[in-house]
Chains A and B, each alone.
Chain A
Amino acid sequence: MAELTYREAVAEAIAQEMRRDEDVVFLGEDIGAAGGVFKATVGLFKEFGPERVRDTPISEQAILGAAMGSAMTGLKPIAEIMFSDFLAVCWDIVANEIAKARYMTGGQMSMPLVIRTANGGGSRFGAQHSQSVENWAMMIPGLKVVAPSSPADVKGLLAAAIRDPDPVMFFEQKSLYPIKGFVPDGELVDELGTAKVLRDGGDVTIVALAAMVPRAMKAAEELSAQHGIEATVVDVRSLVPLDTQTILREISKTGRLVTVEENPRLCGWGAEIASIVADEIFWDLDGPIIRITTPHIPLPAADALEDATMPSAERIVREIVENID
């Protein structure tokens, strides 16, 4: 059991899979010799060389097109889009091409590829480098969508994504890159489509994703210590496939759902979960569903403003204390 940072876990997962499978290749801007703008891919260029770890021009359509074309012809590419905001400039390849190719061709094409991207706020980068856009991907049929919250999950889920025969959008939360966590030694491959129950409590079920998971955990400890409220915390981990069995079961137990979402209010993943809950376990609800999100605004840059808009542990505690009874 080694302690790794979230960013080191990215490189470990890629290295693990590239050593195992020659068909795994990696491309993106500044990922090779430079080791990635977030230093999440340090060491890969040196170990695997420029044939397998390819620096690209600033051409997101070319990056994802290359990933798609190589995936359909036998490679297992990992493409990096430096900031998830930049997915907007290559969204055609993601939404119209990669996601639809298998279905439109009557099952003729396979698309075993991973698109990694640095997602989310907290880095004072302003509205074009801080968005939490996992819901963009979630609403496109044909994409799997993963967003890990810990180094161990980064390694296990990224490895699983690389081995998966379908296209996977892998959202790394950029403010989590420096966090540390224990990661099991040896080969680690997790399972996509599985949520994780991180904490068991009887009063309320907090469902969170990525950077909101550590905040939800902190809030849960605070709720327990200061307010006598025991919260279950579920880390969704994978939006598609969605582990509704675990999520609905944990919500049914407490009858109360609080989603903690980094995305702006409208059409966040929590809205989909709330809708499933209303459809399927309405009669288990013991009070209104609470969605804690960033307001429906472009994320501001200044630290004071950004901190006030993204859901914080304090805000989670406050909203639960004020609304849960």
Chain B
Amino acid sequence: MATKPKAVAKRKASATSSAKSSVKSRAKAAPKRVAKAKVSRANDDIGEDTRLALWRSLLEIRHVEQRAYDLFLQNLVKGTSHLALGQEAVAAGFATAMQKDDWSFCTYRGHHHTLARGASMEGVLGELMGRECGLLKGKGGSMHLTSVEHGAMGSYAIIGAHLPIAMGAAWTAQYKKTGQVSVCFFGDGTTNIGAFHEALNMSAVWKLPVVFVCENNLYMEYTPIKDVTAVHNPAGDRAASYGLPKIVIDGNDADEVYRTAQTAFAKARAGEGPSLIECLTYRHSGHSRADPGDYRPPGELEAWLKKDPVPRYRERLAEFGIAQDVIDGMDAEVLAQVDEATEISKASPPPGLDLIDVDVWADGGTAWRN
């Protein structure tokens, strides 16, 4: 179920798009662009099919994450979970711009990125619930969602680790000249760990086809990132250190994310090396299920809810003339899929105990001796 149409971007990157993509310029440009789009849909650079693909992706993430939250409350989701409610546009925008065989790497907050690559909802929900139908057969849990067949090359729960790993995948693409891109998502907190800098430097030196995407949601865990970081933009202001342009975008605007991704991917595929993109966004819930988010100043959440990427994109679709019943129909359809996935997951048994002793080694076993 829940296979979604993938728009494959073939548009050439414009040389100036990265400069246009700063928050300031987008904030000024946005009303103009909307007004312009209304009158000139023929010149729309994204197009209806892609917009509907973005919409479906946003909906899938939003509904699955909300369902995950409901399932916590029913005590059906065990362990910890890090929801991406509010950050859907980053995942939807990049995944929609990716080719099917591109590789993506994300953190323990990775439900949205895994879903966006096409992993099944019951695979995600089942893994959260510790069920046999889970993507990892229950062996990884919420923080390690992976679906290699969809190019979702893992969720990494140690901050920073996956930047060099994503770089390694890009090395394969470069060495084998496959044209694939490796995309690495991480949080603002990651920009202060050594592996971030090691990976950025070596990727730049080796001119690897890797795109580093920082989801700056303002908080590392509980502490505001600005309190512990020497620069204003934790990723963007570090780009120059590695000879890369500063790119900071509105991470709650799926279109903007999508366009930025296309530009970066084109650069990577052209052999021009990595990009570092900082997406400004906000998580609507706490850091993890244990966190009510009390440290946030009053009014901050409310302000960001006005920029919620899902209602924003619903309006965007309407502005571009897409029929309300199509917009609402997709919403209802996705919700029905989430309901179905929930039931499948609930009905799925716990993983068999025989799984304990498989898959340490390539031969399928776990033997450390003869």
A interface residues with partner B (beta carbon < 8 Å): 25, 51-52, 54, 56-57, 59-75, 77, 92-93, 96-97, 101-110, 112, 141-142, 164-166, 193, 240-245, 276
Contacts and interface: CB of A to CB of B under 8 A. Distances in A.
Contacts of A77: 168
Given A57-B201, A65-B161, A93-B161, A141 B368 contact: yes
A96 B162 CA distance: 11
Contact of A105 (B148, B175, B355): B148
Q: How large is the interface on B (under 10, 10 to 19, 20 to 34, 35 or more residues)?
A: 35 or more
A74 B158 contact: no
Contact of B360 (A56, A92, A142, A242): A142
A141 B365 CA distance: 12
B146 to A, nearest CB: 4
Contact of A106 (B135, B153, B170): B135
A154 B126 CA distance: 46
17 contacts: A51-B175, A59-B198, A61-B195, A61-B198, A62-B202, A65-B161, A69-B164, A69-B172, A72-B169, A73-B153, A77-B168, A106-B140, A108-B149, A141-B366, A166-B362, A240-B368, A242-B370
Nearest to A245: B370
Contact of B172 (A60, A61, A70, A92): A70
A245 B362 CA distance: 22
Contact of A66 (B138, B164, B359, B363): B164
Interface in B76-103: 103
A67 B139 contact: no
A233 to B, nearest CB: 20
Contacts of B156: 97
Contact of B164 (A52, A61, A102): A61
Contact of B195 (A25, A65, A101, A193): A65
B195 A62 contact: yes
A58 B201 CA distance: 11
3 closest cross-chain pairs (CB), A and B: A65-B164, A69-B168, A165-B362
Contacts of B144: 104-105
Interface of B: 103, 105, 134-140, 144, 146-149, 153-154, 156, 158, 160-173, 175-176, 182, 194-195, 198-199, 201-202, 205-206, 355, 358-364, 366-370
Given A62-B167, A93-B161, A242 B175 contact: no
B360 A102 contact: yes
Contact of A69 (B134, B166, B367): B166
Given A59-B198, A65-B161, A166 B166 contact: no
B164, B194, B202: residue with the most chain A Cβ atoms closer than 10 Å: B164
B348 to A, nearest CB: 14
A69 B195 contact: no
A108 B148 contact: yes
B164 A93 contact: yes
Nearest to A96: B158
Contact of B362 (A57, A106, A108, A110): A110
Nearest to A109: B148
A65 to B, nearest CB: 2
B171 A75 contact: yes
Contact of A107 (B147, B158, B199, B358): B358
A243 B194 CA distance: 39
A111 to B, nearest CB: 8
A59 B172 CA distance: 19
